[in-house]
């Protein structure tokens, strides 16, 4: 189990998926005779997935009897436009170069269903490079449960203590801490209140993927000296 691994949340951490996810919400709202939602307002709900967006757009609770059907319709729409306008956040090319330099692997741990996460990564040219892709339906548990992160570490053959997990939601940091991993809160992601990230208990708070480069080098040096 030599070396370490960088594990990344998907939406709002590795990929800016908000343009496509919000567009699909507004298509569904308009088809249902509802008013479209302002992009800036909806963007902050993207990390909460389809349920979070539908709760906002249709002004209902997650327990609303309409939710199951609306979620199904939303996911069908979204599957048809996964990567129309979604892009990898800036500076990840530098991050991936650093991972190659230090000999670390990387993977994705997301609550997004696998049948959406994998095609999205493939469309963006990332899937061949990701050593693992753990979706929200890979295991019975989802974040904030640590099981998906521990499963990722096992797939990669890495000690969880030598993994860094990066995410833009409190559940990401909770899962990483419970798994015994180092954690970094991505304040550049989909946060309603960016200052909240400092209260999640993450080991690090970053405002750009670029900040991962020196952090990864430091962690790699630390793990080498630890043997």
- Give the whole-angstrom CA distance, residue 32 versus residue 21: 17
- Give the whole-angstrom CA distance, residue 107 versus residue 86: 19
| Residue 84 annotated among the catalytic residues of the structure | no
Return the DSSP state at 196.
G
Choosing from 9, 20, 168, 172, the catalytic residue is 9
Q: Count of H helices and E strands in the chain?
A: 9, 8
Return the DSSP state at 13.
T
| Residue 20 annotated among the catalytic residues of the structure | no
CA angle 202, 5, 91 (to 5 degrees): 75
Long-range contacts of 139-142 (CB under 8 A, 24+ apart): 142/111
Residue 33 structure tokens: 């005779």
Catalytic positions, please? 9, 11
């Amino acid at each position: 189990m030599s070396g370490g691994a960088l594990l990344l949340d998907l939406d709002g951490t590795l990929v800016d998926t908000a343009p496509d996810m919000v567009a699909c919400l507004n298509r569904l709202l308009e088809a249902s005779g509802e008013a479209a939602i302002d992009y800036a307002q909806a963007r902050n709900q993207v990390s909460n997935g389809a349920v979070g967006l539908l709760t906002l757009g249709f002004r209902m609770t997650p327990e609303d009897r309409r939710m199951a059907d609306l979620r199904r319709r939303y996911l069908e729409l979204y599957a048809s436009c996964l990567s129309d306008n979604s892009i990898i956040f800036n500076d990840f090319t530098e991050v991936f170069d650093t991972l190659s330099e230090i000999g670390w692997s990387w993977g994705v741990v997301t609550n997004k269903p696998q049948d959406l996460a994998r095609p999205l990564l493939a469309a963006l040219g990332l899937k061949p490079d990701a050593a693992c892709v753990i979706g929200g339906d890979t295991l019975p548990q989802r974040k904030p449960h640590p099981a998906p992160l521990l499963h990722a570490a096992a797939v990669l053959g890495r000690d969880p203590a030598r993994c860094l997990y990066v995410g833009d939601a409190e559940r990401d940091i909770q899962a990483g801490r419970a798994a015994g991993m180092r954690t970094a809160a991505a304040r550049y992601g989909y946060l309603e209140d960016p200052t909240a990230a400092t209260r999640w208990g993450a080991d690090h708070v970053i405002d750009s993927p670029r900040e991962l480069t020196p952090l990864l080098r430091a962690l790699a040096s630390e793990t080498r000296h630890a043997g």
